[in-house]
Amino acid sequence: MKRLFPVLFLLFSGWMLSQLKIDSISHNRGNMETSIYPALLVGYHFSGDAKDNTETWKAGQMHTVELAYAKVFKYGGHHGGSKVYYVGSDFSLSNKYDFFVAPKIGINVGAGFMFGTELQFQTNFEQFVPRIMPYFGIGGWGGKFYIGYNFRLAKAESLPTNTGHIGITWPIIKVKKG
């Protein structure tokens, strides 16, 4: 009897706690399909470390609005995830600098915890600075709350470098097919 208890415990635990297609606790209940749909992403970002080596931290704060078109791949299953390709632009306002536009392309992947990268082309229509920003955060299915760090790929003397970056992005329009 003493040897039977561990075997029964393991079998019962596997039966009750397994995440199989017939799992009755899961809200997905075996929905293993992949959905692919376009979405319009809107976001707000804050950069508090725009350095040009002449001003204080407060003078370099940047507030950015993001608009992007995305292709969202939503993977089903008990621990589903997503992959998002997007193209769009950031529109930045700062306390010291005038209006900036940063067309960008990017990708992120995740299932709760997500990570990604984007390539931005920041310009004030006089100078141009390409930047790459890896980031990580939480989110999925097009939405994200993240922290990133911008790396310059070229030098422009009068454009600020907003290195520290925190943001939130959410899909406001999802066009689901089917």
Residue with the bigger pLDDT between 4 and 167: it is 167
| pTM over 0.95, yes/no | no
User: Which DSSP helix (H) or strand (E) runs through 117?
Assistant: strand 100-123
**141 Cβ contact partners less than 8 Å away, ≥ 6 residues apart:** 72, 74, 82, 84, 171
Check whether 19 has a pLDDT greater than 80.
no
CB contact at 8 A, 148 and 165: yes
Residues in the chain: 178
**Percentage of the chain lying above the pLDDT 90 cut:** 32
Structure tokens at 146: 């993240």
Domains of the chain: 26-174 (2.40.160)
Per-residue model confidence as pLDDT tens digits over 101-140? 889 999 999 988 999 999 999 888 888 888 899 999 998 8
Closest CA relative to residue 40, chosen from 71, 68, 66, 73: 68
Strands 161-162 and 164-174 turn out to be unpaired
Question: Is 60 exceeded by the pLDDT of residue 52?
Answer: no
pLDDT over 70, % of the chain: 72
Whether the predicted pLDDT of 24 surpasses 60: no
Predicted confidence (pLDDT) per residue in 78-90, tens digit:
677 899 999 999 9
Flag whether pLDDT at 99 surpasses 60.
yes
